Chain A
Amino acid sequence: MASLWLTNLPADVTDDEIASWLEKYGFPRCDEIMRVPGDGSRPGAVITFADLDEEVLRRLQPRIDGVFVRNKTIRAQVAPPPRAEPR
């Protein structure tokens, strides 16, 4: 499993739009999109790919990083793997 952290998304963007942008740049179909609105100035989203290797995602990530959409420059980072729950 690998996750992509997108920030500075247009405020009114839909999940389907995000998924279609990613597919346009060669990403596989994502399994989950978790929106992170923050304070509203730079809305973000965590995109989860259940069957994708992190190495592959790191290779794909530069394609979407810096893409200019609706007056916004999208920033993309490969999210670190989730930390184990403390016992």
Chain B
Amino acid sequence: MSLFDRLFGRQPAAGSDPLLGKALDRAVEVVEPKLALARDWRNRLAPGVSAAIAIARAGAQCLQQVHDLSAANWSSDPLLRAVFANADSVSQVLGRMRELQRFLRAPGAGTEAYAVLGMSFETRKALGSALVGDQVRSEVERTQANFGDHRIRIVAASAEEMRQAAGLRIFNELLLGVTLELAKADERRKELNVERSLLQARLRMLEHNESALSEEFGGEAVDTADPLAERAEMQRRLDELSAAMAQYGGGTEGLDRQLEIVRDALLSARELVRIETRTLRVDAMNTVLDEGQTAGQTIEFVHIQAPRIARAFAAVRVQRADVPAGGLSIAAVERTL
């Protein structure tokens, strides 16, 4: 694990952030390597990358409580009871996790691994029976918490390494989100370019021969009564398109504009990505209870809400002995199917 990887799980030191330089390099490497050719790109990109680092650090630091993930522990850990239907499903999920198996199979691997368990999470309103006062009433609206689609992508030898890997993963995901923004901007710029070329050709034809224009375009938008007004309207539309294209950058300004798009997208991630520790009180059927109630158990997990993702996460520790050997053959069968 490099210095870059090691620093993600920790709080920033006072003064300058030692991670920023490496993070800037990684940002242009993932998003668009050509950005490194732009003038003063490091200083211009630094605010956005700093914001992304802060998000990644905050997310990694949320993963403090580590749960022992095993079938034997299912009945005693409230979180495991909430996210797995039964003890057997813990073993089945562990058997499917290739990253975990690869990590534990590696030479020199220890007897345990720390991992981040990701799950889909949703709450659903349902009608059920409930004790109201001293009466049992049916058709009372209840909220059910549902967890599913368990995945383990981040595996490490210690809790600290796991948090560092989680921070790095969050940072990379933010960069991929920015790459998508850049791809959309490119696509939009191409569309505008085509539209502008068509309009320019149409304007040239209008200037050349108004009757030819009318035949070419079926006369649909041509005001033959007032060609000057038509020309003025086209020119206005052309100016609008040129202004819109300038937003996405073009020619020599392209890189500068891309740099601004990347910086703004990273800065806006502060508003778009919400990472928080959620606490719920649930009963044995995963019905969400009020905080004031004494029944049920309190569970705590990390919830990440972003434009492309909404998932729950928990830090877990897995013993090698709890990972079923049969999982290896399941993985092999899945690959050949």
Contacts and interface: CB of A to CB of B under 8 A. Distances in A.
Interface stretch (A3-11, A48-56, A72-80): A48-56
A52 B153 contact: no
Contacts of B186: 59
Interface stretch (B47-55, B137-145, B174-182): B174-182
Size category of the A interface is 10 to 19
Contacts of A59: 179, 182-183, 186
Given A34-B335, A52-B176, A26 B30 contact: yes
- Most-contacted residue by chain B among A26, A31, A51, A53 (CB, 10 A): A26
Given A55-B184, A59-B179, A28 B172 contact: yes
A28 B176 contact: yes
Contacts of A51: 173, 308-309
A66 B182 CA distance: 23
Nearest to B169: A29
A34 B331 CA distance: 12
A70 to B, nearest CB: 23
Interface in B21-72: 29-31, 33
A53 B180 contact: yes
Interface residues of B, number: 19
Interface in B274-324: 308-309
Contact of B183 (A26, A29, A32, A58): A58
B45 to A, nearest CB: 15
Contacts of B182: 59
Interface in A12-50: 26, 28-29, 31-32, 34
B309 A55 contact: no
Nearest to A15: B102
Nearest to A34: B335
Contacts of A28: 172-173, 176
B179 A56 contact: yes
Given A34-B335, A51-B309, A26 B33 contact: yes
B281 to A, nearest CB: 31
Contacts of A60: 179
Given A52-B176, A60-B179, A26 B29 contact: yes
B164 to A, nearest CB: 15
Contacts of B169: 29
Interface of A: 26, 28-29, 31-32, 34, 51-53, 55-56, 58-60, 63
22 contacts: A26-B29, A26-B30, A26-B33, A28-B176, A29-B153, A29-B169, A34-B335, A51-B308, A52-B176, A53-B180, A53-B308, A55-B180, A55-B183, A55-B184, A55-B187, A56-B180, A56-B183, A58-B183, A59-B182, A59-B186, A60-B179, A63-B33
Top 7 A-B residue pairs of the complex, sorted by shortest distance between their CB atoms: A26-B30, A55-B183, A59-B183, A56-B179, A56-B180, A26-B29, A53-B180
